[in-house]
Every structure is written in structure tokens, then in C-alpha cells.
Amino acid sequence: MRNRPLDLRALQSFAAVVDTGSFTAAAKQLNYSQSAVSMQLRRLEAELDLDLLIRDSPRVKPTRPGREVLGYTREMLRLNGELQQTLAQREVAGTVRLGLPIDYAPYIPSTLTLFAERYPFVEIEVRSELSVTLIEEVRAGDIDMVIVTRESNASGGNRLRREPLVWVAAPGTAVHERDPLPLAISPEGLCAFRAAATSHLDAQGMAWRTAYESQAFAAQRIPVAAGLAIAPTLPSLIGPDLEILDPATTGLPKLPTMDIRLYRSPGRASEAAACLAELIIEHVRDSRNAA
């Protein structure tokens, strides 16, 4: 065997013949003629000075040395594909504008790190706003994509997660028994959590008051953890400093489910924006309840 690089196309044909069990099926899979596949295999066997295939059976199979060559073949084809993908990713460049509420920041650091590794020539601008503001901005085309909270009957976009809205309080406190009920919530008209919580309290005839008001749950949780109020939020946003209150034992109304959705700006997305959206859907989506 002469010491020169092997033909990757011949190796590809060899793997295809083994996988499909016939030259005809391999040729169809690769969009080659059957004679071209046969010629490539004969040349490869001559180059290696080995019989790679058992041809006198209903299904073509690799010989013993063919199985050894097949292992190297698959690795060489994998590396070739990986190199092509890496080079293609490095050609993607530009700027992508991503918006999300500050409370959702923990969802995406690992995704953004992976994106930066795959697409080093793309700059990402992250904007933190309320969901209602972000929806307006993405619809106007001022931002490429947003991750926002929507009621579970909302349509459009890609649903990343669906979680029940729950009441939370400091562990071991009885703040939920106070009358009127002290709430830590967002300002009126800005958050779907507030609207859902207060409307369900009103429907049940429970008196409540705004004890603490902030746009971010990160700030709301401070008085809640101190035992001064309760708050509506998602299970994924709480930690050991808070506990979920069971409506069945506390008398609080059961709250609806909420969606965390990805919305993209109308019109044709840039290649960089499309790549980031695809990665967010792949890595942020909860496969148990996203559609």
C-alpha cells in the first residue's frame, strides 16, 4: 500500500454499503451510480491491499479486516463532518439582540457560552426588560428575539417551558393567614403574575394589599423570605429560602399555568439570529412539557 491519503468519498461509499447491505441501496443513498460505488470500493481495496466485503451473500457484509477498517472509516468521516461544521459556523457573523426579564437570566448563561464558542464572530446584546415591553420591542423589530412570560393559552413563538404559577412564602411562617393578605408583586399592568394572582384572589373574595412592589422577583423575594409577604412566582425561580404554599391546606386560590416562550422579530432573521434561536430552543426548552 502506497503511503498517500485515502479517498474520503470511497470511505463514505464503503460505510454506506455496509450500512445498507447492498451496492444498489448505497448508491441511491449517496446519489451515485451503482457502477461508481463499485469502482470506488475496488480502488479502495486495491489501495489497502485488503478484501473489505463479503459479496456472495444476500446482504453485503464486511470481512474481518473490513470491520477494522470500518471503525477507522467512521471516525474519519465524523472528523470530516465536524471540521466542515466548525468552519461553517465561523463564517457566521453579526450582532444578535436578545431580550428577557432579569429573573430569567439563570436560564441562559450556559447556552450563551456554548453559542460564543461555536460562533466566535457573533456579538450578543442582552436587554433586560419586563415581558410586556419586550413583546412590543420584538414586534416592532427593535430586538431580534425575546424570552417572555405568557399565559398558557397564548399562541405564537416557541414554548420553552410550561410551569404552574404558585404562591410562595418563607418556610414555617403563617403570613398567608393575615387579613388583608400582604403581597409582594409587580406594579399594576406590567406582569402576568400580578394579574393572575389578584384576579383569583378577588374571585375568591379574599382581601389583599400591596405590601411590596418591584418589577423583578429577585427584589420581591427579599420581604417574602423575611416572612413579611407572599408572592406569586414559578417553581423554577425559587430556592431553599422559600416554600410553595398548597392551596388545599392554606385556602389560597389555585393559580393558572404560565408559559415561557421565545418570540422572534417578524421578517427574515439573520443567520446569526437563527442560530441563536435554534440553540436556545435546544438547550433551554424543558422536554417534559414544551411543545
**What strands lie across the sheet with 231-233, from one edge to the other?**
231-233, 166-169, 243-245
Model confidence over 137-178: pLDDT tens digits? 999 999 999 999 888 877 788 999 899 999 999 999 999 999
Mean pLDDT of the chain: 89
- Give helix 271-284 / helix 109-118 axis angle, nearest 10°: 140
* pLDDT reading at 90 higher than 70: no
At 20, list the grid cell.
445498507
Please give the pLDDT value at position 84: 77
Comma-separated ranges of CATH 3.40.190.10 domains in the chain: 94-152+262-284, 166-255
Cα Rg for the chain, rounded, in angstroms?
Answer: 29
Pairing between β-strand 145-151 and β-strand 257-264 as defined by DSSP bridges: antiparallel
* pLDDT reading at 286 higher than 70: no
Give yes or no for a contact between 134 and 146, defined as CB atoms under 8 angstroms apart.
yes
In which band, very low, low, confident or very high, does the pLDDT at 291 lie, cut at 50, 70 and 90?
very low
Query: What sign does the dihedral 228-233-239-240 (CA atoms) show?
Result: positive
Angle at 221 between CA 217 and CA 222, to 5 degrees: 130
- Fold category of 8-85 in CATH: Arc Repressor Mutant, subunit A (1.10.10)
Model confidence over 93-103: pLDDT tens digits? 889 999 998 88
Superfamily of domain covering 166-255: Periplasmic binding protein-like II (3.40.190.10)
* pLDDT reading at 289 higher than 70: no
- Fold category of 94-152+262-284 in CATH: D-Maltodextrin-Binding Protein; domain 2 (3.40.190)
Please give the pLDDT value at position 252: 97
Please give the pLDDT value at position 89: 62
* pLDDT reading at 213 higher than 90: yes
Please give the pLDDT value at position 55: 87
User: Across residues 263-268, what is the average pLDDT?
Assistant: 89
User: Across residues 15-29, what is the average pLDDT?
Assistant: 92
Give yes or no for a contact between 242 and 168, defined as CB atoms under 8 angstroms apart.
yes
Please give the pLDDT value at position 98: 95
User: Across residues 220-238, what is the average pLDDT?
Assistant: 94
Model confidence over 45-78: pLDDT tens digits? 999 999 999 988 888 999 999 999 999 999 999 9
Comma-separated ranges of CATH 1.10.10.10 domains in the chain: 8-85
